[in-house]
Amino acid sequence: MKFDTKPLVSAMAKFDTKPFVSAMASIMVMRTIKNELIPPEFLNFFQSGLDHLSRRFLAEFTVVIEEFQGLARNQVFEAAEIYLGTKAATVSAERVKVSKSEDHKKLSFNIDRNEEVNDAFEGVSVKWKLICIQVDSSRIRHYDNDSSAVAEIRSYELTFHKKHKNKIFNSYLPYVLEVAQQIKNGNMAIKIHSNEYGYWSRDEKFNHPMSFDTLAIDEKLQREIVNDLDKFVRAREFYRRTGKAWKRGYLLYGPPGTGKSSLIAAMANYLHYDIYDLDLTVVGDNKSLRQLILGMSNRSILVIEDIDCTIKLQNREEDEEASSNGHDKVTLSGLLNATDGLWSCCAEEHIIIFTTNHKEKLDPALLRPGRMDKQILLSYCSFSAFKQLAMNYLCVNEHELFEKIEQLLGQVKVTPAEIGEVLTKDVDATECLQDLINFLHTKKMIKEEIMDEGNVKEE
Ligand SMILES: Nc1ncnc2c1ncn2[C@@H]1O[C@H](COP(=O)(O)OP(=O)(O)OP(=O)(O)O)[C@@H](O)[C@H]1O
Ligand SMILES: [Mg+2]
């Protein structure tokens, strides 16, 4: 290993004091001793002592970025990992790791443990190092105890001259986060995370093929939703200026099978955001809920399906009673605080989606203006939505049977899910459409019979 004296010399020129010079001289001597005389097995130990000394006298400043904050993965660590992957492939590291999982579209590079990577930002030199310490896995809360008795605690050390502290904190680290996000958007498949045992599962790929091209909803409504999403994504400056949390809440409501979950999938695919599918029934209390939401990464969608029945959400007075009785459970105000409260501002670009089949059952506190930014009704199939389904399932955009179907759709309520089922029964398009006409006729007859019975009873 060659010893580069340039930084030392320039540092000595700047800080021309006797004690400093003699300390630097000692360090140089020790480095020579290290390179020439120390047996390889003691090198690491000696090196860390030397690094420590250099840091003191070169006025270096080191930021430690640990992989986990409690149970949640540290997003700065994640971003550093992705960002340094690009550096590792091109610049200074002497050893890199290369991998490609199914989730990735391209090769991923990574610096190896205890390797250093130099980087420069607006004229400032920085040094990254990946530190790995092996410990007994039972001492780590986030670690899956089944797999191994030994676990690794990983962290990055970012070192630079302390006079650049402001620049690093205010410009460089945000830049690293930004670049990592861009890389992630281009390279990573979307993930879906679900909660179990108090933390998010990490590596499930989100494979739902639904997109706004295949979603069968009213065209005008679709345009409105897409415009809303575009506006939200572009609004970074607006949220920063107004001090509002950069998040948007949607309530999707409507009968089963009308496309609420399909719309969520289309949104995630459109924005390229990860989904965090929150099952409130397995969240013990408000504190765990808060921790889960803090564990979400930026640019992601929090989904709480069937909000009316997944949990009994009481009103606020009952909440207070419950917490004063020491009851451990997620309460409505806990949920609202978690999604709405001050601390949820820590993250950026969060979309929160609640779904329900029964909007009328929801607590008014959830529906209060300003809480859910947009309430979207997904309803029974219109003719234009049907045409989209015919295109999806049968690759047909015009057919002589369409007129009859349009007429029947005006008379009976049928969900896109029901239509989808009929259209997949046969291979031949005409037969499928004829099946659909028969299905709609039957529904219409049943509806008329029910109405007749109602009239009889009324009489
Ligand atoms: N608007 C739609 N466009 C395209 N396909 C749809 C639509 N609605 C439903 N489907 C089809 O029906 C299936 C079920 O729909 P989905 O799960 O989105 O309904 P949902 O409204 O979420 O129902 P639930 O209230 O029971 O959760 C989907 O997998 C999809 O194949
Ligand atoms: Mg659903």
Helical (H) or strand (E) element with 66: strand 60-66
Please give the C-alpha separations between residue 331 and each of 131, 201, 315, 317, 405, in angstroms, as whole numbers.
Answer: 41, 23, 8, 11, 46
The band of 308, judged by pLDDT with boundaries at 50, 70 and 90, is confident
Query: What distance in Å separates the CA atoms of residue 375 and residue 353, rounded to the nearest whole number?
Result: 10
Q: What is the pLDDT of residue 97?
A: 67
More confident of the two residues 36 and 308: 308
Closest ligand 1 atom to 255 CA: 25
Task: Mark 316-341 as b/e (b = at least 16 C-beta within 10 Å).
Answer: eeebeebbeeeeebbbbbbbbbbbbe
Which of these ranges, 44-58, 108-122, 188-202, 405-419, has the smallest mean pLDDT? 44-58
Ligand 2 ion: residues within 5 Å (CB): 260-261
Q: In the chain, what are the domain boundaries?
A: 6-189, 194-377, 383-458
Verify whether ligand 1 is closer than 6 Å to residue 217 (CB atom).
yes
Determine contact, residues 23/15, Cβ cutoff 8 Å. Answer: no
Looking at domain 194-377, its CATH superfamily turns out to be P-loop containing nucleotide triphosphate hydrolases (3.40.50.300)
Q: What is the pLDDT of residue 458?
A: 40
The mean of the pLDDT values for the chain is 78
- Sheet arrangement for strand 116-121: 60-66, 150-161, 124-136, 116-121
In this structure, the residue with its CA closest to atom 18 of ligand 1 is 259
pLDDT mean over 274-288: 88
Q: What is the largest CA-CA distance in the chain?
A: 109
Query: What distance in Å separates the CA atoms of residue 382 and residue 377, rounded to the nearest whole number?
Result: 13
Query: What distance in Å separates the CA atoms of residue 306 and residue 356, rounded to the nearest whole number?
Result: 4
Query: What distance in Å separates the CA atoms of residue 221 and residue 210, rounded to the nearest whole number?
Result: 17
Mutate to test the pocket of ligand 1, among 262, 279, 419 (most ligand atoms within 8 A of CB): 262
The band of 459, judged by pLDDT with boundaries at 50, 70 and 90, is very low
Verify whether ligand 1 is closer than 6 Å to residue 307 (CB atom).
no
44 pLDDT above the threshold of 90: no
Verify whether ligand 1 is closer than 6 Å to residue 225 (CB atom).
no
| ipTM given for this complex | 0.99
Verify whether ligand 1 is closer than 6 Å to residue 283 (CB atom).
no
Q: What's the DSSP call for residue 354? A: E
Verify whether ligand 1 is closer than 6 Å to residue 454 (CB atom).
no
The band of 92, judged by pLDDT with boundaries at 50, 70 and 90, is low
Query: What distance in Å separates the CA atoms of residue 364 and residue 314, rounded to the nearest whole number?
Result: 11
